[in-house]
Structure 1
Amino acid sequence: MATGKILIIVTNVREYETVGMRTGLWLGELTHFYDYALDNGFQLDIASPAGGYVPIDPESLAHDVLKELGTDRRYQDREFMDLLNNTKKACEVDVEDYDAIYFTGGHGVMFDFRDKDLAALTARFYDSGRIVSAVCHGPAGLLDVTLDNGDALVKGKNVTGFSWAEEEAAQRADAVPFSLQDELAERGGNYSIADKPFETHVVTDGRLITGQNPGSARGVAEAVVAALQA
């Protein structure tokens, strides 16, 4: 039975493990999805692997980035930003309360989305007929998901996620713990990429919906909403 609710997963990690740069949630990947789904009648809850506070990637707060699709208005919205002070713990969520799950990005997710409890939660979403979606680095949360039939979630499915070319362009190739592009492919995903780095690219394969980069978050929201309203 449809609930009209979507669960959003965000990171708790504020810095890289091997370099001093700060990271966290890429704010627009939350707000672009959140606002579109909200405007289309869905309720949204935010959870994280550890629960509690969610750090924001400082680069996602740059002036030109903040202006995209109203993220600056959300950043100035005290009530909205306070949602990131005390998020739900993902492993304590009841799948039955939601129609879909959405993994945001930001480099922080590469360090805490590969979590066995989060993987088990995601498998329950997919195996119960619900929609699983992710954007940018968010598909890191899909890498270790094993379904009831024993297959990796992404095996044989068309997927995308932050590309290695984009990693190099962002000057993060030496900071990240793995190549998301390679890991998706190694698990049997049919990985595809936009014609140029940072172009919008959204891939839908049944109930699995993925977007390549920050600019694809609204497109993922549109695809998720369309699937839920079909």
Structure 2
Amino acid sequence: MKHILMVLTSHSAMENTDSTTGLWLGEFTDPYYGFIDAGYRVTIASPLGGKPPIDPLSLLTENITASNRRFNDDKAAQSALDATLVLDTINATDFDAVFYPGGHGPLWDLADDEYNGRLILEFIKSRKPVGAVCHGPAALIKAAELAPGLLSGTRITAFTNTEETLTLRADNIPYHLETRLKKLGADFKSAVLPFTNHVETDGLFVTGQNPLSAGPAARALIALLKKGTIKD
């Protein structure tokens, strides 16, 4: 049985506002059930362990997905989310792939977490896929700083500068993720229209642009795993 690690943010504060952020719930539940329904085992971790903060906006009616509703009736999944493992206790050798959901939180903690950066490099060294969606690709930043050139020329997508502006949160974040990834050498790609599904697979990296891309990104990672040996 394949074993997937899902790494979530532990960060909730935003800049210049009393509003909070954290995990975007649908970006966890859509991939989580995608992996579970494919017969995979899932382990959940976060920098601080325990229950991660949930972005309140992801709980609004207009942002609720079918997987959110399924989660609301799934006591086992709720218990797993409430008791995430502490990230620095995780060993890449125990897993077949890693996936990073978004919410704005990863811009602060996962992007700057050296243990997380080294964990990603271990997955890459072992030829294991690394998936991320929306602001989840911020988790790649520290890995790319530790291994310059890691993202050079690699097709990556993430929440775009335009989408940040349209969500009215551009003044509440430390940097724009699209800009940061481009500076690290990524060949950044996005959908023609904001907030529409867009997924990129390049080598070991699978990235999705926004919440609508969470389920498709998980399916792309599953497809990569099913191919077996992954070549450069």
Report the TM-score when normalising by structure 2. Answer: 0.93
- The corresponding residue for 2:159 is 162
1:83 shift after superposition: 1.6
1:152–1:116 Cα change, 3 Å: farther
Which residue among 78, 101, 106 is the counterpart of 1:104? Answer: 101
1:116-131 equivalence runs, <5 A: 116-131=114-129
Q: Which amino acid aligns with 1:206?
A: G
Q: Deviations over 1:77-105 (max 9, x none)?
A: 33322222221111211111111000110
- Show structure 1 runs of 4+ deviating over 6 A: none
Percent identical: 37
Q: Tell me, in whole angstroms, the C-alpha distance in 2 between the residues paired with 1:78 and 1:170.
A: 32
Aligned amino acid, residue 182 of structure 1:
T
Q: Higher mean Cα deviation, 200-209 or 18-27?
A: 18-27
| CA apart distance, 1:110 | 1.1
Instruction: Specify the alignment match of 1:172 in structure 2.
Output: 169
Aligned partner letter, 2:53: P
Corresponding position: 1:95 with 2:92: yes
Equivalent residue number for residue 31 of structure 1: 29
Aligned with 1:181 (options 178, 181, 202): 178
Output the CA distance in 1 between the equivalents of 2:204 and 2:98. Answer: 11
RMSD: 1.5
Cα deviations across residues 130-157 of structure 1 (Å, max 9, x unaligned)? 0011000000000121499x43432220
Partner of 1:222: 219
The count of residues paired between Structure 1 and Structure 2 equals 226
Picking from 201, 206, 221, the partner of 2:203 is: 206
Instruction: State how far apart, in whole Å, the 2-side matches of 1:216 and 1:167 are.
Output: 16
CA contact (8 A) 1:104 1:134 kept: yes
Which position in structure 1 is the counterpart of 2:16? Answer: 18
SS in 1 for 2:108: helix
The answer as to whether partners of 2:45 and 2:86 remain within 8 angstroms in 1 is yes
1:194 maps to which residue? 191
Amino acid paired to 2:135: H
Give the Cα separation in 1 of the matches to 2:7 and 2:172.
Answer: 22
